Amino acid sequence: MTKENKELAVVSTQVPDYLKGKLEDKRGNENVSMDEMTVPRLEIVQSLSACRKKTDSEYIEGADEGMLYNNVTRQLYGEDVHIVFGGFEVKYLVWGDRKKGGGFFGAYDSLDAANTAIDALGEEATAKGPEAQKTHQHYGFILDKKTGLGQPISISMAKTKEKVSRRLNSVISMQRGARFSRVFRLFTVQEQNGRGDAYYNYSFDPVGYPSEKIYLEAEKIYNMSKAGDLKVNEDFDDVHEDTKEVKTEY
């Protein structure tokens, strides 16, 4: 048996027969709750994203502009996903000026808290011109289109993405039922910043209703976000929009 055949015998990309019907088995994870996990972020691959650079540790094979990906599992979803939104809040994220080296310096519940944190930064950090950005945070479940199963996900929307978020919140608020009673298709569209450079933004369409199982799971996300118990992954791609370079027309 060749080395390649041995690897194929050990690892399979298809569910083997002996596991069919057993994928709901949670043994070994009894003591792992949402309190011991962080919710991944949904990110958009931009032209300068680290996940497109083969020399970068964040590289994802096959990543192309406009694709969506999970920043924890590194899974590529293509250019659209189905999501049930469970919770929403506003955060203030502190970013360094990209032209001065950039960097992410934390997420805060208020502008005052963010500015206090900026004042406490050391000389090296303040040299990067940190600034607080008002950011809409959406929490929910991203669905596997084939199996209908879901996993927790968070989405950060600031600046030009905020106008999409406002429209999304308006659409959700006008529907009957809880925030998590609908499924949305979230997809990427190409836009231009103030300098005429192309980048990708979000757009969305409502597509229907979730299964009862997903509805109840999304309800848990809602309850945790409302109680402030949701731990969100704070690793970000190093590409974000520059305030002075992006049109923010509403």
Higher-pLDDT residue of 150, 168: 168
- Mean pLDDT is lowest, of 127-131, 142-146, 147-151, 168-172, for 147-151
Please tell me the predicted confidence (pLDDT) of residue 16.
Answer: 73
E strands along 12-149, which residues?
A: 42-44, 68-70, 76-78, 80-95, 104-108, 131-143
pLDDT digits (tens, 9 = 90+) for 7-36: 445 555 566 777 777 766 666 655 545 555
For residue 172, tell me if it sits in a domain: yes
23's tokens: 């994928």
For residue 84, tell me if it sits in a domain: yes
Q: What are phi and psi of 118, to 5 degrees?
A: -65, -40
Total domains, the chain: 1
For residue 242, tell me if it sits in a domain: no
Please tell me the predicted confidence (pLDDT) of residue 33.
Answer: 59
User: Which range marks the domain in which residue 211 is found?
Assistant: 38-92+137-227
Band of pLDDT at residue 248, cut at 50, 70 and 90: very low
For residue 80, tell me if it sits in a domain: yes
For residue 146, tell me if it sits in a domain: yes
Band of pLDDT at residue 97, cut at 50, 70 and 90: confident
Q: Are 219 and 178 in contact (CB under 8 A)?
A: yes
What does pTM read for this prediction? 0.79
